[in-house]
């Protein structure tokens, strides 16, 4: 257990930061799931809109150090490739 005031303060700071990082990562995952759901439905236009909304959220998570920037780049690249592979059957 922490014996000094500074150590106790660090514990409080870490707890706040962990909570914030968890929320950021969860929010990022939610946006990615929306893109994947649109891809699963086969709606290219909807998937593109969802990706446009997800991209800044993912970049923000990388900028804050929640996830590595290469991880975000890889995920965005793979989602984009999956969207490009879609053939729009009925435009929205």
| Burial class of residue 21 (count of CB atoms within 10 Å of its CB; 0-12, 13-18, 19+) | middle
CA distance linking residue 64 with residue 23, whole number of Å: 12
Give per-residue pLDDT as tens, 28-50.
999 999 999 999 999 999 999 99
> Residue 49 falls within a domain, yes or no?
yes
> Residue 46 falls within a domain, yes or no?
yes
Q: How many domains does the chain have?
A: 1
Give per-residue pLDDT as tens, 3-26.
999 999 999 999 999 999 999 999
Range of the domain at 60: 24-84
Q: Which CATH number does the domain housing residue 69 bear?
A: 1.20.58.110
> Residue 40 falls within a domain, yes or no?
yes
Q: Describe the crossing of helices 44-63 and 69-84 by its angle, rounded to 10 degrees.
A: 170
Contact present, 24 and 60 (Cβ < 8 Å): yes
């Amino acid at each position: 257990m922490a014996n000094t005031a500074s150590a106790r303060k660090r514990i409080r700071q870490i707890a706040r930061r962990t909570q914030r990082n968890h929320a950021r990562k969860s929010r990022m995952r939610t946006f990615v799931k929306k893109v994947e759901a649109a891809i699963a439905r086969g709606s290219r236009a909807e998937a593109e809109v969802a990706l446009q909304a997800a991209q800044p959220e993912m970049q923000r998570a990388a900028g804050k150090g929640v996830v590595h920037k290469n991880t975000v780049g890889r995920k965005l690249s793979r989602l984009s490739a999956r969207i490009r592979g879609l053939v729009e059957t009925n435009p929205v």
